[in-house]
Amino acid sequence: MHNMKATSPSQQDLTPVEFNAEMMAEINRVIAMFPEGKQKSALIRILHIVQTNFGWTSVPAMNKVAEILNIQPIEVYEVATFYTMFHLNPVGNYVFEVCRTGPCMLVGSDDIIAYIENKLNIKVGETTTDGMFTLKTAECLGACGYGPVLQCQYKFHEHLTKEKVDEIIEAYRQASLLN
């Protein structure tokens, strides 16, 4: 079995998607928060809704968002590709985002990234064969004094060491057994 690798948009299934009634109700609620003609301001919140429902933000889903907001698809792509919080490919149950910017790099984030790659037998951007873990890097998680730092499911894991990484991986494996 091979690790799941990221695909470029041209390799994705581009079949149009539809959003269910619940999603549309939430999207319309968010759009209504903004003045007429300023619906594009709802874009980030809508992308979060899409990702929550689908697990990632595919090109067809982004195209649907553009249609709903009456904007060009490229305007959605620009936002989704800028922010690392949006997953442009399917991801595992747990996404490890390791900060790789200067302050974290100075205290060993490169070593932590390499350790996670080796430990999980994946590279940055890949998902383990069991679909449990995806490894991504991030540009500054805003925890410069606590590096190296990893974020998973909105939780920060700070002052990382190889031992702490082992504990984190094991904790998420155990958590998945309970679900």
pLDDT, tens digit (0-9, with 9 covering 90-100), for 91-105: 999 999 999 999 999
56 near 89, Cβ under 8 Å?
yes
Q: Is the pLDDT of residue 11 over 80?
A: no
User: Per residue in 107-119, pLDDT tens?
Assistant: 999 999 999 999 9
Using CB atoms within 10 Å of the CB of residue 116, give its burial: 0 to 12 exposed, 13 to 18 middle, 19+ buried.
Answer: buried
CA atoms within 13 A on the CB side of 112: 32
What pTM was estimated for this model as a whole? 0.77
Which domains, ranges and CATH numbers included, belong to the chain?
Answer: 9-82 (1.10.10), 94-178 (3.40.30.10)
Task: Determine contact, residues 133/120, Cβ cutoff 8 Å.
Answer: yes
| Number of other residues whose CB lies within 10 A of the CB of residue 83 | 12
